[in-house]
A = this chain, B = another copy of it.
Amino acid sequence: MTARHDIRRLTRFAASLFERSGMPADRARTVARLLIDADMMGHDTHGLNLAPQYLAALAAGEMPATGEPKRLSDTGPVVLWDGQYLSGVWLVDAAMDLALGRAREFGMCAVGIRRSGHIACLQSFLTKATDQGFLVLLLSSDPAAKGVAPPGATEAIYTPNPIAVGIPTDADPVLIDISCSITTMGLAGRKKAEAARLPGAWLVDADGKPTDDPAAGVALLPLGGTDSGHKGFGLGLMVEAMTSALGGFGRKDGPGQHGASVTLLLFDPDAFGGRQDFLAETSFLASACRAANVPEGSAEVRIPGARGLAAHREALANGVTLYPGIMERLEEWATRLGVDRPQPLN
């Protein structure tokens, strides 16, 4: 069995790695905490699994350890930053703090970040907003990458473009984190490395045929696949426009470095129909979904985020089990940076 790690101890360990790599202590702690939140929610590809590549980028100077985003625009409810390829995890969390104040003041706000570093697990950022009663949307694209083909094309043109949404209710928030492609570039890559097939014909091959074979596929299909891929395509274009185009930096600039175009939208229900009616409505709908008829013997409808929040609570109480290989790779960095490895719980 793989070791369980106490959350505080593991966070101090990861924060030390980032701090020894030159990050200010608070920033290092924020990045460590948000990555570990992803592991705790079960998103083990987007948690500490990313730390070695972040540490390598810090060591290579590709991700500056210090410095601030540059404010390019500020109308009050709209702010745009140039992220200078600083840690995207830290930038999005800082943008959220800014956005919470602006949404309270104006009723809604948008904070854009162009040239952000990689932002890891979008779902991790949402609870800071939902805990304070705000409806939050977080959108992202990477103008230096391509993975998804428009319907009918045999070539990747744009990225999967995730949309994360946090919806407060009277109980747990609804936490949505999806992409506008039918699957992720990560899954397709992993299956290709394993010479395995995908669960469905989610790729397009060079002849324009759908295929489940990652070796034959040239691009991901949009969400909706061959049936209704025009819908996923439309959503993908929406995210590109709301992130790279609004930010004024994107594919037209031919960026040589991976990075994220990010847009964060916050809505204060008190500026619309009021917090009480908002929560009553979101709670009513979540309950209606959970109470919906299901076939005999099936589990009830799962609300987005419910499983992750339950896993997060369990990990907070009993520690988190990291996906095999992650701690080993971090231990190499710990040795190099002179950081003590954390003692596991078992």
| A residues lining the B interface (CB < 8 Å) | 72-73, 75-78, 80, 106-110, 112, 114, 135, 137, 149-155, 157-158, 163, 165, 167, 174, 176-179, 182-183, 199-200, 202, 207-208, 223-225, 227-228, 230-235, 237-238, 240-242, 244-252, 267-269, 271-274, 277-278, 280-282, 284-285, 288-289, 292-295, 298-302, 304
Contact = CB atoms under 8 A, between A and B. Distances in A.
- Count the copies: 2
A71 to B, nearest CB: 12
A246 B234 contact: no
Nearest to A204: B295
A277 B267 CA distance: 26
Contacts of A247: 272-273
A77 to B, nearest CB: 5
A277 B292 contact: no
Contacts of A302: 151-152
Given A284-B250, A292-B157, A110 B267 contact: yes
A162 B138 CA distance: 20
Contacts of A231: 178-179, 223
Nearest to A289: B150
Given A246-B267, A301-B151, A240 B285 contact: yes
Contact of A278 (B167, B235, B248, B299): B248
Contact of A281 (B153, B248, B289): B248
Contacts of A151: 301-302
Q: Which of A178, A247, A272, A278 has the most CB of B within 10 A?
A: A272
B272 A135 contact: no
Contacts of A241: 135, 165, 167, 174, 282
A44 B108 CA distance: 36
A230 B72 CA distance: 37
Main SS class of interface, A: mixed
Given A231-B178, A248-B272, A294 B208 contact: yes
B230 A248 contact: no
B285 A228 contact: no
Contacts of A80: 272-273
Contacts of A301: 150-153
Given A154-B295, A223-B228, A273 B288 contact: no
A304 B248 contact: no
Contacts of A110: 107-108, 267, 272
10 contacts: A78-B107, A78-B108, A135-B246, A167-B238, A176-B235, A225-B225, A248-B281, A249-B281, A251-B284, A252-B285
Given A237-B304, A238-B167, A244 B281 contact: yes
A176 B150 CA distance: 14
B153 A289 contact: yes
B78 A292 contact: no
A298 B152 contact: yes
7 smallest beta-carbon distances between A and B, as pairs:
A248-B273, A248-B277, A78-B107, A176-B234, A75-B107, A153-B292, A208-B295
Nearest to A174: B237
